A and B are shown apart, each in its own frame.
Chain A
């Protein structure tokens, strides 16, 4: 029950964010991807910076990129794509997959999740379940499972691992020290 509420809050929060930022349009910008832009000091040898990976909202990066590589589910293509092209390239696939896992609003949820960029409201507490940033300790797997998979399959809404194996630091750089042998 808590998870369903979380899912609803997550989507509602994102819808508000989306409205506030005027991003209801589903057009598909086609400008060149700025990931390939160079900046002084990087282009030392006259080469080009070629994008090789990207990640925004945790859990989405390879939603549709499973081992079989069936159809449009191409892992590498997603990783080198620009978020500016996500709605055009991935909206239909996201909606399809969301539909078959009994998501109650496949198109709405796909529109919430794309383009694949993590919303960060600097004036509100960070909480991935509200789709506002992501804390180190946030249970991204459970949130993702709950958002994507419909309530009729709620026995798959948690992987039952709720916290990291090592405590995070309260001071910069916050991540926990590496494990030693």
Chain B
């Protein structure tokens, strides 16, 4: 299919938009979570091997400007932040690392539990908790944990006349009357070279590093085994 045929087909246009939405949501920033609380809005999930450990990173609270917005940002004291771990890829968590939050402002601390089975004897993560002040590094029980402001690790060509926005508008604006960002930006191509439109912006990050052996034990898999992960936020109501 060439680009002209693509533009001539509304269905294709819907698909293209959705595909481009992929990239926007790769940064998944402000993607309409079921809450008004930006600090429960997940931007990105990263999980990587680090020697004998695995590192879990969840970023929330998109598009924080440097300065006051960043300095004042905290996690949600009514929030639960979880790394869910699934052994069989059936979409049901078998183990989790759970981060709850206490307090606000300068008195905020996070409490990290796990990795532990989701369905233990009392249906709970069983490992002893690790309490860490916001923006401090905590160590205990083999874990390292930190939550605080960071640069947004995501990078993307999102705005401008040859960007994801322009691609969306070029594909979608004419056929279905839907535009995003600046409707005047229309081009079915990406600028080359392009700039990172998230440069200079911050987020809140939650980082937990856990031994592979603990993850393996929690899941009942070998220490060189495979699991399936997602990040999840919940709100206490």
Contact = CB atoms under 8 A, between A and B. Distances in A.
> Are A and B co-members of a single complex?
yes
B46 A23 contact: no
A64 B49 contact: no
B200 A165 contact: yes
Contacts of B88: 21-23
Chief secondary structure at chain A's binding surface: loop
B225 A122 contact: yes
Given A53-B233, A122-B226, A133-B47, A40 B124 contact: yes
A45 B100 CA distance: 14
Interface in A137-170: 139-141, 144-145, 148-150, 152-153, 155-156, 158-166, 168
A125 B226 contact: no
A67 B180 contact: yes
A20 interface: yes
B182 interface: no
Interface string A95-110: 0111111100000000
Given A29-B90, A66-B21, A181-B66, A172 B207 contact: yes
Chief secondary structure at chain B's binding surface: mixed
A82 interface: yes
A5 interface: no
Interface string B67-107: 10010000000001010101111111100001010000000
B11 interface: yes
Contacts of A58: 26, 28, 44-45
Interface string A62-79: 111111101001011001
Given A17-B226, A63-B18, A79 B190 contact: no
Contact of B67 (A80, A97, A149, A181): A181
Interface residues of B, number: 122
B46 A135 contact: yes
Given A133-B48, A179-B201, A123 B91 contact: no
Interface in B140-167: 144, 146, 148-151, 153-157, 163-164, 167
A136 B124 contact: no
B70 A156 contact: no
B19 A145 contact: yes
Contact of B125 (A39, A73, A115): A39
A85 B163 contact: no
B232 to A, nearest CB: 5
A100 B12 contact: yes
Given A65-B18, A122-B223, A145-B23, 6 more contacts: A21-B87, A54-B230, A56-B231, A73-B18, A120-B227, A165-B155
15 contacts: A29-B91, A37-B118, A37-B123, A39-B124, A47-B237, A49-B236, A50-B234, A54-B232, A58-B44, A117-B91, A161-B157, A164-B155, A173-B150, A175-B150, A179-B202
Interface of B: 1-3, 6, 9, 11-12, 14-19, 21-28, 31-35, 37, 40-42, 44-49, 54-55, 57, 59, 64, 66-67, 70, 80, 82, 84, 86-93, 98, 100, 111, 113, 118-119, 122-125, 129, 137, 144, 146, 148-151, 153-157, 163-164, 167, 172, 176, 178, 180, 188-202, 205, 207, 209, 212, 215-216, 222-237
